[in-house]
Chains A and B, each alone.
Chain A
Amino acid sequence: MHSIVKTILERLGLGVLTLFAVSIIIFSAIEMLPGDFGEAILGQRATPETVAAFRRQLGLDQHPFVRYIQWVLGAIQGDLGTSFSGRNASGVDRSREVVGLIAPRLWNTMFLASMTAIIAVPISLALGITTALFRNSVFDRSVNTATLTTISFPEFFVAYILILLMASLYPVFPSLANVDADTLIGERVYRTALPALTLTLVIVAHMMRMTRAAIINLLASPYIQMARLSGASQLEIIIKHALPNAWAPIATVIAFNLAYLVVGVVVVEVVFVYPGIGQLMVDAVRTRDIPVVQGCALIFAVTYILLNLIADIIGIITNPRLLHPK
């Protein structure tokens, strides 16, 4: 058991290191801004005093190292600074806390992502495994061509086709997914149906193809032929011989696609005007509201790194070679 703990600790250490490096990159976003960005944000009429006050408030008069420490400590305690917007030339400051902007939207995004994952993961695993088993059948070929086509579609194309069909021509679902904190769960599911469906279509195509490849790879192992020759039925081969060795590749596939989902959410939220953090981030990029961009990017990156870390750890704890060292 000792070596497995060691491997996991190593992987966790690596994850922390990656997080550290990523946080530096995101932090330095503000360092790379051109010198006159204060004027750009506060407007042409801003006086040198208000600009200086703004810079002081951001801590730009301090050493970057000190600011990084403050920023990270703040982020850990849930303080991501204040938004650039809401300030004006006269020094009036109606800016809002970044966390306050992000929190309700983060919940919305997580709701959409989880809803998609709940639908997409079982479907893609089932499709991936069946196509791998009935390789080169008509079923496999048609699913393959269909998914190859779907992964070639931009997300917004899928989204607008769905809107055209299911909202515009045959109004089954609303084309705008406007929800707020008071929306009841049933209503919420109804309104997020189209965004969730869009994401599902895109994700299923990717995840199914990867699952199929992983399973085919596994079924080509000599020990699977051996199992067949020792009289094991197709079902037994899958459950008893393939599955115990499939956790690692399947976990990787799921993590990869959930991470992809996190990103795919951005475009879909914009199409459906869904109040999630993807849309918040895009708006912030357009107005160059750096603190908000930083906050959103940090959340996306942390989720992404965590998902991959979990997949790695599942791979480690299901590896018989590590589970039963020599």
Chain B
Amino acid sequence: MSKDKTSQNILLQVKELQIEGFSDEKWHKIIKGVDLTLFKGEVLGIIGESGAGKSTLGLAAMGYTQPGCRITGGQILFNGENLARLSESKKRKYWGNRMTYVAQSAAASFNPAHRLINQTTDSTVRAGLKNRNDAFKEARKLYEALNLPDPHNIGNRYPHQVSGGQLQRIMTAMAMSPNPDLIVFDEPTTALDVTTQVEVLGAMRSIVEEFNTAAIYITHDLSVVAQMADRIKVLRYGEQVEEAETRVMLESPKEEYTKSLWSVRSLQKKEEVEEDIVLEMKSISAAYGAARVLFDVGIKLPRGRTVAVVGESGSGKSTAARVITGLLPPSEGSVMFSGESLPAELKNRTREQLQKIQMIYQMADVAMNPRQTVREIIGRPLEFYLGMKGELNRSRTIELLELIDLDESFIDRLPSELSGGQKQRICIARALAANPEVIICDEVTSALDQIVQEGILQLLMRLQKEFQISYLFITHDISTVKAISDQVVVMSEGKVVEQGLKSIVFSPPHPDYTQLLLSSVPEMDPDWLTNILKKRS
């Protein structure tokens, strides 16, 4: 895969690019002078955390800025022209012709009113590259190459008639249709489940290789970019941290920041056995109206340990949490707490029962009332469960803040005055304030950046040791499971597929679904995708 890196072979060159965005009545710098060089037929990965400006940079490579943004300096050279200074009507002759775009949410990015094949070939026909018939034929070939089912007819459907993974592949076909020089992939698999992601990644990579198209691949997921890119550029706060060939970057990152990104994956808890069961779901079945979502689910949570419940969207893992908390009374089975059966409905539970089981949510943003200060948020359970008032309440709140590595200065802040990680910490403090025995963590780290995730996970583990708290940890992310669990429950379609100690669940032999799930999780090895696809075919 060695590319000819001579100056004649440069496809796109971005020099000292600066972009500003308008928010809070001010212009803020989003991209602060970034250079980028892309050779013909090369795939460049851009990675970074939220707010790094990676999507803005990716779109700017096409000369496009989102509404509310403006280019304030620098050049974007493509085909000898500076796209930063070109009028939109001039740029239009490149868009959908020489350069194309694959968006994150395919479901929202297809026009609901038109057939898929028309949308796939639209730009090709408009640019006069092919006539309609040839373009249709070509599109069907692309569908086939992308492993879409029924490639001859799927294009006649409308966007809402096909699944998310299929739409993402059709969008890739749409980007390939005019046979462009450059495709910008903007987090194309982020919204997909891991088992779907593998197929989409494989299809995208093989087609880019086949046509020798250059691509910019934007993602926050290192292991994904490792599969797709020849070269990786790391961005942070709108500036470049470093850039290197993929293998070099993976083996020996230079900068501290990059190393810290890499190191997150190494966090791993040693599993411990415990016989005392604090919480148990006994053969629970549950339904939303007529739709049954849980089938005979049994989960045991040992005291002072962490049980991770993993599964893809629709597996019923969050519903299990709703049953435990009493929000959704089960149709069969019961929830046992310290050997006693809990009332099925929330309103029949005593205050002590409620106090012992606390919950932390995925989106800390909406888990805290935006109009309450940290003091009110943490202070309320102290008052409600423990009757602490006045000065006692305040001093305990400060103690809790210190427990979660924050300090007194945060006590009068509103949630909007906190960063993402700080918000989640306040939610942890709120749960902790009740002196619980069990905390249910529902995807508590999945909305956070890698480095912040690690901090939260370490905090949770420290608190577990200190207070003997048991966690029921719901997640879709296998690396998080590896990092913190003692036991693992694998769920699929409302049933428990497998459960047991982490070491046992993660070592073969696996049931089919666990095998599929585990093997679909991308690894940092750049050859992982090649190998897995070879193995499966």
Asked if B95 is at the interface (CB within 8 A of a chain A CB), the reply is yes
**In the complex the two chains form, is B111's CB within 8 Å of A241's CB?**
yes
Q: Within the complex, what minimum Cβ distance (angstroms) separates B44 from chain A?
A: 19
Tell which of B101-109, B343-351, B363-371, B414-422 binds the partner: B101-109
Q: Within the complex, what minimum Cβ distance (angstroms) separates B202 from chain A?
A: 24
Residues of chain A from 231 to 265 with CB closer than 8 A to chain B in the complex: 231-233, 236, 240-241, 244-245
**In the complex the two chains form, is A229's CB within 8 Å of B62's CB?**
yes
Residues of chain B from 86 to 122 with CB closer than 8 A to chain A in the complex: 89, 92-97, 100-101, 103, 105, 108-114, 122
Inside 8 A of A6's CB, which chain B residues have their CB? none
Asked if B152 is at the interface (CB within 8 A of a chain A CB), the reply is no
Cα–Cα, bound, A266→B62 (Å): 56
**In the complex the two chains form, is A223's CB within 8 Å of B92's CB?**
no
A 290-326 to B, binary, CB cutoff 8 A, 1 in contact else 0: 0000000000000000000000000000001100101
Q: Given known contacts A223-B108, A244-B114, A245-B111, is B123 in contact with A320 (CB within 8 Å)?
A: no
Cα–Cα, bound, A278→B1 (Å): 80
Asked if B410 is at the interface (CB within 8 A of a chain A CB), the reply is no
Q: Given known contacts A222-B105, A223-B109, A241-B111, is B160 in contact with A230 (CB within 8 Å)?
A: no
Asked if A221 is at the interface (CB within 8 A of a chain B CB), the reply is yes
Set B66, B101, B111, B158: member contacting A223, Cβ < 8 A: B111
Q: Given known contacts A223-B109, A226-B109, A244-B113, is B126 in contact with A231 (CB within 8 Å)?
A: yes
Most buried by B among A222, A223, A225, A241: A223
Cα–Cα, bound, A240→B123 (Å): 13
Asked if A228 is at the interface (CB within 8 A of a chain B CB), the reply is yes
**In the complex the two chains form, is B160's CB within 8 Å of A320's CB?**
yes
A 7-20 to B, binary, CB cutoff 8 A, 1 in contact else 0: 00000000000000
**In the complex the two chains form, is A326's CB within 8 Å of B160's CB?**
yes
Q: Given known contacts A231-B123, A320-B160, A326-B160, is B103 in contact with A222 (CB within 8 Å)?
A: yes
Cα–Cα, bound, A228→B122 (Å): 12
Set A221, A232, A324: member contacting B158, Cβ < 8 A: A324
Interface of A is mostly: helix
Q: Within the complex, what minimum Cβ distance (angstroms) separates B283 from chain A?
A: 34
**In the complex the two chains form, is A320's CB within 8 Å of B112's CB?**
yes
Asked if A22 is at the interface (CB within 8 A of a chain B CB), the reply is no
Cα–Cα, bound, A222→B158 (Å): 16
B 260-303 to A, binary, CB cutoff 8 A, 1 in contact else 0: 00000000000000000000000000000000000000000000
**In the complex the two chains form, is B96's CB within 8 Å of A232's CB?**
yes
**In the complex the two chains form, is B108's CB within 8 Å of A221's CB?**
yes
Asked if B161 is at the interface (CB within 8 A of a chain A CB), the reply is yes
Residue of A nearest to B177 (CB): A230
**In the complex the two chains form, is B93's CB within 8 Å of A231's CB?**
yes
**In the complex the two chains form, is B95's CB within 8 Å of A230's CB?**
yes
Asked if B257 is at the interface (CB within 8 A of a chain A CB), the reply is no
**In the complex the two chains form, is B122's CB within 8 Å of A230's CB?**
yes
| Interface size of A in residues (CB-CB distance below 8 Å) | 21
Cα–Cα, bound, A228→B158 (Å): 20
**In the complex the two chains form, is B95's CB within 8 Å of A231's CB?**
yes
Residue of A nearest to B93 (CB): A231
Q: Within the complex, what minimum Cβ distance (angstroms) separates A42 from chain B?
A: 60
Asked if B64 is at the interface (CB within 8 A of a chain A CB), the reply is yes
Residue of A nearest to B89 (CB): A233
Asked if B127 is at the interface (CB within 8 A of a chain A CB), the reply is yes
Cα–Cα, bound, A222→B59 (Å): 14
Set B103, B113, B126: member contacting A226, Cβ < 8 A: B103
Asked if A176 is at the interface (CB within 8 A of a chain B CB), the reply is no
**In the complex the two chains form, is B160's CB within 8 Å of A229's CB?**
no
Inside 8 A of B62's CB, which chain A residues have their CB? 229
**In the complex the two chains form, is B64's CB within 8 Å of A229's CB?**
yes
Q: Given known contacts A244-B114, A245-B112, A326-B160, is B95 in contact with A228 (CB within 8 Å)?
A: yes
Q: Given known contacts A222-B103, A324-B161, A326-B160, is B111 in contact with A227 (CB within 8 Å)?
A: yes
Inside 8 A of B109's CB, which chain A residues have their CB? 222-223, 225-226
Interface size on B, as a range, is 20 to 34
Q: Within the complex, what minimum Cβ distance (angstroms) separates B55 from chain A?
A: 12
**In the complex the two chains form, is A245's CB within 8 Å of B113's CB?**
yes
Interface contact tally, CB-CB below 8 A: 73
Q: Within the complex, what minimum Cβ distance (angstroms) separates B183 from chain A?
A: 11
**In the complex the two chains form, is B158's CB within 8 Å of A320's CB?**
yes
A 194-231 to B, binary, CB cutoff 8 A, 1 in contact else 0: 00000000000000000000000000011101111111
Inside 8 A of B66's CB, which chain A residues have their CB? 225
Cα–Cα, bound, A25→B89 (Å): 59
Residues of chain B from 184 to 206 with CB closer than 8 A to chain A in the complex: none
Residue of B nearest to A221 (CB): B108
Q: Within the complex, what minimum Cβ distance (angstroms) separates A247 from chain B?
A: 10
Set B100, B105, B158: member contacting A230, Cβ < 8 A: B100
A 131-152 to B, binary, CB cutoff 8 A, 1 in contact else 0: 0000000000000000000000
Inside 8 A of B105's CB, which chain A residues have their CB? 222
**In the complex the two chains form, is B114's CB within 8 Å of A232's CB?**
no
Residues of chain B from 342 to 386 with CB closer than 8 A to chain A in the complex: none
Q: Within the complex, what minimum Cβ distance (angstroms) separates B215 from chain A?
A: 15
Residue of A nearest to B62 (CB): A229
Q: Within the complex, what minimum Cβ distance (angstroms) separates B279 from chain A?
A: 40
Residue of A nearest to B104 (CB): A222
Q: Within the complex, what minimum Cβ distance (angstroms) separates A250 from chain B?
A: 14
Inside 8 A of A326's CB, which chain B residues have their CB? 160-161
Q: Within the complex, what minimum Cβ distance (angstroms) separates B179 from chain A?
A: 14
Inside 8 A of B157's CB, which chain A residues have their CB? 324
Residues of chain B from 135 to 192 with CB closer than 8 A to chain A in the complex: 157-158, 160-161, 174
A 167-197 to B, binary, CB cutoff 8 A, 1 in contact else 0: 0000000000000000000000000000000
A 46-70 to B, binary, CB cutoff 8 A, 1 in contact else 0: 0000000000000000000000000
**In the complex the two chains form, is B112's CB within 8 Å of A231's CB?**
no
Residue of B nearest to A233 (CB): B92
**In the complex the two chains form, is A231's CB within 8 Å of B97's CB?**
yes
**In the complex the two chains form, is A222's CB within 8 Å of B97's CB?**
no
Q: Within the complex, what minimum Cβ distance (angstroms) separates B95 from chain A?
A: 4
Q: Within the complex, what minimum Cβ distance (angstroms) separates A28 from chain B?
A: 38
Set A222, A225, A231: member contacting B127, Cβ < 8 A: A231
Q: Within the complex, what minimum Cβ distance (angstroms) separates B439 from chain A?
A: 37
Cα–Cα, bound, A221→B123 (Å): 19
**In the complex the two chains form, is B101's CB within 8 Å of A226's CB?**
yes
Inside 8 A of B100's CB, which chain A residues have their CB? 229-230
Q: Given known contacts A229-B96, A230-B95, A231-B93, is B123 in contact with A321 (CB within 8 Å)?
A: no
Cα–Cα, bound, A89→B207 (Å): 95
Inside 8 A of A231's CB, which chain B residues have their CB? 92-97, 123, 126-127
Q: Given known contacts A326-B160, A326-B161, is B101 in contact with A229 (CB within 8 Å)?
A: yes
Most buried by A among B64, B92, B105, B123: B92
Inside 8 A of A240's CB, which chain B residues have their CB? 114
Q: Within the complex, what minimum Cβ distance (angstroms) separates B375 from chain A?
A: 38
Cα–Cα, bound, A3→B97 (Å): 39
Q: Within the complex, what minimum Cβ distance (angstroms) separates A231 from chain B?
A: 3
Cα–Cα, bound, A240→B122 (Å): 11
Cα–Cα, bound, A253→B111 (Å): 22
Q: Give me the interface of B with A, judged by CB distance under 8 Å.
A: 62, 64, 66, 89, 92-97, 100-101, 103, 105, 108-114, 122-123, 126-127, 157-158, 160-161, 174
In the complex, 15 of the A-B residue pairs with CB atoms within 8 angstroms, ordered by the A residue number, are A222-B109, A225-B66, A225-B109, A226-B109, A229-B62, A230-B95, A230-B122, A230-B123, A230-B174, A231-B93, A232-B126, A245-B111, A320-B113, A321-B160, A326-B160
Taking A226-B111, A230-B174, A324-B160 as known contacts, 4 extra A-B pairs with beta carbons closer than 8 A to each other, sorted by chain A number, are A222-B108, A227-B111, A231-B92, A232-B122
List the 9 shortest-distance A-B pairs measured between CB atoms, nearest first.
Answer: A231-B96, A230-B96, A244-B113, A231-B95, A230-B123, A222-B108, A226-B109, A229-B101, A223-B111
